[in-house]
């Protein structure tokens, strides 16, 4: 079982910041999950939302300023990081799940992972199948994860697995809302297509009981809790 810190160690530290990412690794996570956008000057920056109002209290579209202009804004005192800085700051064996929020960020994000010789430990994920198709066309070796959101998507997933040659399905732990039998049957079915499964965002071992034996990775806010659980399983 691999443990990734969702936006870093976001239960305790400012989400999607270098501090949060470093702390996730310090407390035993195998890697981190983060979200990326492309600024107007072509830099790839880390932010969950396109609009920064929730995290910095200012109504700013992250794609419109330059990266230098974004340095005026802080997330609980921490700067908005570049994707490049995450690769520089973390150990060279840390897994990095790059969630593509912006199709404009696909090509430069891939370029950064290649530059750091990190394709084998980078998982590019997205809800946006178009973005994943672009990425797959650019690179046949990239590791791709399809993010599953609403339950209305469950029947289209197999065709998407084929179209992007996906390696992972990133499934919300709330899929249990369809019922235990249905949820387990769906995941068993998806795994027949050769994908591994990541569960997001379980924040206690209880959230994983339904998925026993059906996943390889968890993406969590509560890094220490899940690392402890992982270690108990070994």
Return the bridge partners of 6, or none: 33
β-strands 143-147, 122-126 pairing: parallel
How many C-beta atoms surround the C-beta of residue 28 within 10 A? 15
Q: What is the mean pLDDT of residues 51-56?
A: 94
- Say which residue, 57 or 176, is predicted with more confidence: 57
What's the gap between Cα 2 and its chain centre?
Answer: 13
Torsion of CA 44, 89, 49, 171, to 10 degrees: 110
User: Which domain range does residue 207 map to?
Assistant: 2-233
Q: Contact, 220 vs 4, CB < 8 A?
A: yes
Beta strand segments in the chain, E: 2-6, 31-38, 44-46, 74-75, 78-79, 95-100, 122-126, 143-147, 168-172, 196-200, 217-220
Express each pLDDT in 80-109 by its tens digit.
999 999 999 999 999 999 999 999 999 999
How many C-beta atoms surround the C-beta of residue 57 within 10 A? 11
Confidence of residue 150 (pLDDT cuts 50, 70, 90): low
pTM over 0.75: yes
What's the gap between Cα 47 and its chain centre?
Answer: 11
Q: Contact, 192 vs 161, CB < 8 A?
A: no
Place of tokens 């297509």: 193
Q: What is the pLDDT of residue 152?
A: 63
Express each pLDDT in 170-228 by its tens digit.
999 988 677 788 889 999 999 999 999 999 999 999 999 999 999 999 999 999 999 99
Q: What is the mean pLDDT of residues 119-124?
A: 98
Residue 67 has pLDDT above 80, yes or no: yes
Q: What is the pLDDT of residue 155?
A: 77
Residue 148 has pLDDT above 70, yes or no: yes
Give the mean pLDDT of the chain. 95
Q: What is the pLDDT of residue 153?
A: 72
> Taken in order 99, 40, 56, 85, is the CA torsion positive or negative?
positive
Structural domain count of the chain = 1
The CATH number given to whatever domain includes residue 125 is: 3.20.20.190
Q: What is the pLDDT of residue 151?
A: 63
């Amino acid at each position: 079982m691999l443990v990734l810190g969702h936006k870093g160690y976001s239960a305790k530290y400012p989400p999607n910041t270098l501090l949060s990412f470093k702390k996730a690794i310090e407390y035993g996570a195998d890697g981190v999950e983060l979200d990326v956008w492309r600024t107007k000057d072509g830099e790839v920056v880390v932010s969950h939302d396109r609009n920064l109002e929730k995290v910095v209290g200012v109504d700013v579209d992250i794609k419109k300023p330059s990266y230098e202009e974004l340095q005026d804004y802080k997330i609980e005192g921490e700067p908005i990081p570049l994707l490049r800085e995450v690769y520089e700051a973390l150990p060279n064996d840390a897994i990095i799940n790059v969630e593509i929020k912006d199709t404009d960020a696909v090509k430069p994000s891939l370029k950064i992972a290649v530059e750091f010789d990190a394709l084998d430990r980078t998982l590019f994920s997205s809800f946006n199948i178009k973005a994943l198709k672009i990425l797959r066309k650019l690179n046949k070796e990239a590791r791709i994860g399809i993010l599953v959101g609403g339950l209305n998507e469950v029947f289209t997933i197999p065709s998407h697995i084929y179209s992007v040659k996906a390696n992972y399905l990133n499934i919300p732990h709330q899929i249990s809302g369809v019922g235990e039998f249905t949820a387990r049957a769906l995941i068993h079915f998806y795994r027949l297509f050769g994908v591994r499964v990541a569960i997001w965002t379980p924040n206690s071992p209880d959230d994983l009981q339904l998925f026993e034996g059906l996943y390889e990775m968890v993406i969590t806010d509560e890094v220490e809790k899940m690392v402890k659980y992982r270690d108990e399983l070994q």
